[in-house]
């Protein structure tokens, strides 16, 4: 079978085409209705309107503890002219109002003497009385069809006399993982094998929105086996999700299988990540919608949100669940390719009264970018991106209240920030340290523009030999009110494979013919250090193979060396240890946190300053290797 891409179409258009294809194939527009006890109806969608069978309250009742009276008999009562009542009835909250009485006086406003009630204020008729039908009137429309029931809804239904509700049954989703390289969760993985985390994630996404989910056994990259699995799944599903094989590679059979078992409506959608989406139907009585999800985890998760979730909501006759949104300032420049909606994961924090959005790594396989994301920013297909500081709309994955104690750090990458983030969260679940790796120079610019609380920097000034401080006047001006707090000293050196097979001894070896180097990005302090060291030995960067190849973190450099894609790169010793690499020392440097002086007393940052003083934290940092905490927390400026 072949699976050529049809031309990409916008996501909204793809949804409409899929909907029409499902209708034409005979897919049911709704799942069946079932009757459930009212106590089991939360999260379900009403299959018919709910009408009140009785009023609530069903009688005039006391709204307070006190006495029931006739309001007319209290006229003239005042502090100086109290009225004594012989005719009253003691009532508690919720008691029926006794016949003949039309008001209730709170117990604390009544003075009793010799069996009489002394009243010192007149009351109007129906004071502190809940009238019959005040909340719900019999025969009133309580809820419309297509309403997703909340706890307050089922309580109101019960108050109106309902003991059962007619609702839509939960849609059934069957997930089919495919791929010769896919293995069950918990299996030992050989090189080239991948754990089946996508099925776990997609099933959980389905359950989260109120569906039933079942995952089949893993199916090999064989079109006949996939076809059989799809037909079996469709017999028991309201939606089939076929994972992987949706692209146009040698073992990508999804589009061909869908065309063979029913109809192929869409292959390729103008969405990033998630471009190779397949949408169609499986023939049957009735037919069943099928979604071919990309194998990359971020693509799979977003494909579910964009296509599966609205389709499943429609099967229940309900509106899709919409995330709340907010407006935020973008922490750094964000480029986007024309032609596709670009779904960008972002971290959020509040800086100087503004919500700031920091883009996370954008690779379709970077699942942790969704784990860490506070929101999703959609760059429309016709927009090339946004500039730093620009206002953008963000759909929230966490509530705004959850980000008010987020510390936003932008700048140079360092593992100590990850250790600090973990320690802060362990001490207080409401504290988040969100760091973005854009290099030291990028961090200082972000701080200047009010886009972060802290800038992590280790910029060396070759002219003076000082770190960071000489750059502050250049970037902020000589009168800027800034503070600099020492985080650590750390060792920078060449990361090399175990045993240092090429026998590298220092920076001068980087010019060897055939040696493959991996660099850090422009503006990174490590890049500045490299250029300084090359200048000292009069080495031409253009003679270094791989000088223009860039990674944005020390761990990225270490990963490239560990995978054999490079022979060496300059980075910190802790990154070498993390990947089991050897380390050739080059320099010991300070890594500092730069901030506005006014932020030193900001309550958001107080937990960080306390953490830097803890001996346990410092010991944890030094265990990483290549760090000294002798000056941690010291105010340099």
Residue 287 vs residues 93, 160, 252, 587: alpha-carbon distances, Å: 57, 39, 23, 67
End-to-end Cα spacing for the chain: 67
User: Which pairing describes strands 288-293 and 239-243: parallel, antiparallel, or unpaired?
Assistant: parallel
* Amino acid 7: pLDDT: 63
E strands along 169-238, which residues? 172-177, 182-183, 194-195, 212-215
Strand partners, 92: none
DSSP character at residue 490: E
Q: Is the pLDDT of residue 100 over 60?
A: yes
- Tell me the pLDDT band of 508, cut-offs 50, 70 and 90: very high
Say what percent of the chain tops pLDDT 90. 77
* Amino acid 250: pLDDT: 59
Q: Is the pLDDT of residue 6 over 60?
A: no
Rounded Cα distance between 256 and 2, Å, is 6
* Amino acid 3: pLDDT: 40
Q: Is the pLDDT of residue 365 over 80?
A: no
Q: Give the CATH architecture of domain 445-628.
A: 3-Layer(aba) Sandwich (3.40)
Tell which residue, 177, 265, 189, 183, has the closest CA to residue 225: 177
User: Which pairing describes strands 278-282 and 262-267: parallel, antiparallel, or unpaired?
Assistant: antiparallel
Token couple for 543: 């003679």
Report which of residues 624 and 370 the model is more confident about.
624
The CATH code of domain 61-130 reads 2.170.190.11
Using an 8 Å Cβ cutoff, are 494 and 531 in contact?
no
Q: Return the CATH superfamily for domain 11-31+170-315.
A: MoaB/Mog-like domain (3.40.980.10)
- Tell me the pLDDT band of 186, cut-offs 50, 70 and 90: very high
Rounded Cα distance between 347 and 372, Å, is 7
Token couple for 518: 């991996």
Residue ranges per structural domain of the chain = 11-31+170-315, 33-57+134-168, 61-130, 445-628
- Tell me the pLDDT band of 478, cut-offs 50, 70 and 90: confident
**pLDDT tens column, 159-177:** 999 999 999 999 999 999 9
Token couple for 523: 């503006």
Q: Is the pLDDT of residue 607 over 80?
A: yes
At 174, phi and psi to the nearest 5? -115, 125
Burial class (CB in 10 A: 0-12, 13-18, 19+), 472: buried
Q: Which of 63-72, 221-230, 319-328 has the lowest mean pLDDT?
A: 319-328
Using an 8 Å Cβ cutoff, are 345 and 334 in contact?
no
Rounded Cα distance between 340 and 337, Å, is 7
Q: Which residues contact 152 (CB under 8 A, 6 or more apart)?
A: none
Rounded Cα distance between 47 and 30, Å, is 10
Q: Which residues contact 543 (CB under 8 A, 6 or more apart)?
A: 511
Q: Which of 216-230, 523-537, 581-595 has the lowest mean pLDDT?
A: 523-537
Q: Is the pLDDT of residue 251 over 70?
A: no
Q: Is the pLDDT of residue 587 over 80?
A: yes
At 564, phi and psi to the nearest 5? 80, 10
* Amino acid 437: pLDDT: 82
Report which of residues 604 and 353 the model is more confident about.
604
Token couple for 197: 């985390």
- pTM over 0.75, yes/no: yes
Q: Is the pLDDT of residue 4 over 70?
A: no
Token couple for 101: 């009485």
What is the third-level CATH fold of 33-57+134-168?
A: Molybdopterin biosynthesis moea protein, domain 2 (3.90.105)
Rounded Cα distance between 555 and 435, Å, is 15
């Amino acid at each position: 079978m072949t699976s050529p891409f049809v031309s990409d179409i916008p996501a909204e258009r793809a949804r409409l085409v899929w909907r029409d294809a499902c209708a034409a194939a005979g897919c049911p527009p709704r799942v069946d209705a079932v009757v459930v006890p009212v106590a089991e109806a939360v999260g379900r969608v009403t299959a018919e309107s709910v009408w009140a069978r009785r009023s609530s309250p069903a009688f005039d009742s006391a709204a307070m503890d006190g006495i029931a009276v006739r309001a007319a008999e209290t006229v003239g009562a005042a502090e100086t002219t109290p009225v004594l009542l012989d005719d009253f009835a003691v009532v508690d909250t919720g008691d029926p109002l006794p016949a003949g009485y039309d008001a209730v006086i709170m117990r604390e406003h009544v003075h009793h003497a010799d069996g009489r009630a002394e009243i010192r204020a007149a009351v109007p008729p129906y004071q502190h009385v809940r009238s019959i039908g005040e909340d719900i009137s019999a025969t009133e429309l309580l809820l419309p069809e297509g309403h997703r029931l909340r706890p307050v809804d089922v309580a109101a239904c019960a108050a109106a006399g309902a003991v059962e509700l007619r609702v839509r049954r939960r849609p059934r989703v069957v997930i089919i993982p495919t791929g010769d390289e896919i293995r069950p969760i918990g299996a030992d993985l050989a090189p080239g094998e991948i754990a089946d985390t996508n099925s776990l994630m997609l099933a959980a996404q389905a359950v989260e929105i109120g569906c039933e989910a079942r995952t089949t056994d893993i199916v090999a990259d064989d079109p006949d086996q996939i076809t059989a699995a799809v037909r079996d799944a469709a017999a028991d599903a309201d939606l089939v999700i076929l994972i992987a094989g949706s692209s146009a590679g040698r073992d990508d059979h999804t589009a061909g299988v869908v065309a063979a078992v029913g109809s192929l409506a869409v292959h390729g959608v103008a969405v990033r990540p998630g471009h190779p989406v397949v949408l169609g139907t499986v023939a049957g009585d009735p037919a069943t919608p099928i979604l071919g999800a990309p194998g990359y985890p971020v693509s799979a998760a977003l494909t579910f949100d964009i296509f599966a979730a609205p389709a499943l909501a429609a099967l229940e006759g309900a509106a899709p669940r919409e995330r709340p949104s907010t407006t935020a300032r973008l922490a750094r420049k964000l480029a986007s390719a024309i032609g596709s909606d670009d779904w960008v994961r972002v971290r959020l924090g509040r800086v100087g009264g503004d919500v700031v959005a920091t883009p996370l790594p954008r690779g379709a396989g970077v699942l942790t970018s969704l784990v860490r994301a506070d929101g999703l920013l959609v760059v429309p297909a016709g927009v090339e991106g946004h500039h730093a500081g620009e206002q953008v709309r963000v759909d929230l994955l966490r509530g705004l209240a959850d980000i008010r104690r987020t510390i936003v750090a932008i700048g140079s990458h360092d593992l100590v920030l990850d250790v600090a983030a973990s320690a802060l969260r362990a001490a207080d679940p409401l504290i988040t340290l969100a760091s973005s790796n854009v290099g030291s120079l990028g961090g200082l610019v972000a701080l200047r523009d009010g886009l972060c609380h802290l800038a992590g920097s280790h910029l060396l000034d070759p002219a003076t030999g000082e770190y960071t401080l000489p750059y502050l006047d250049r970037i902020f001006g000589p009168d800027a009110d800034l503070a600099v707090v020492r985080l650590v000293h750390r060792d920078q050196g060449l990361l090399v494979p175990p045993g240092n097979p090429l026998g590298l001894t220092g920076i001068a070896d980087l010019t060897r013919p055939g040696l493959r180097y991996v660099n850090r990005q422009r503006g990174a302090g490590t890049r500045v250090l490299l250029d300084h060291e090359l200048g000292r030995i009069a080495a031409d960067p253009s003679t270094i193979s791989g000088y223009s190849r860039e990674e944005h973190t020390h761990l990225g450099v270490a990963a490239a060396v560990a995978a054999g894609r490079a022979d060496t790169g300059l980075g910190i010793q802790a990154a070498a240890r993390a990947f089991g690499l050897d380390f050739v020392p080059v320099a010991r440097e300070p890594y500092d946190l730069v901030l506005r002086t006014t932020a030193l007393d900001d309550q958001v940052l107080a937990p960080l300053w306390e953490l830097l003083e803890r001996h346990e934290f410092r010991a944890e940092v030094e265990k990483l290797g290549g760090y000294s905490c002798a000056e941690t927390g010291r105010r340099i400026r």
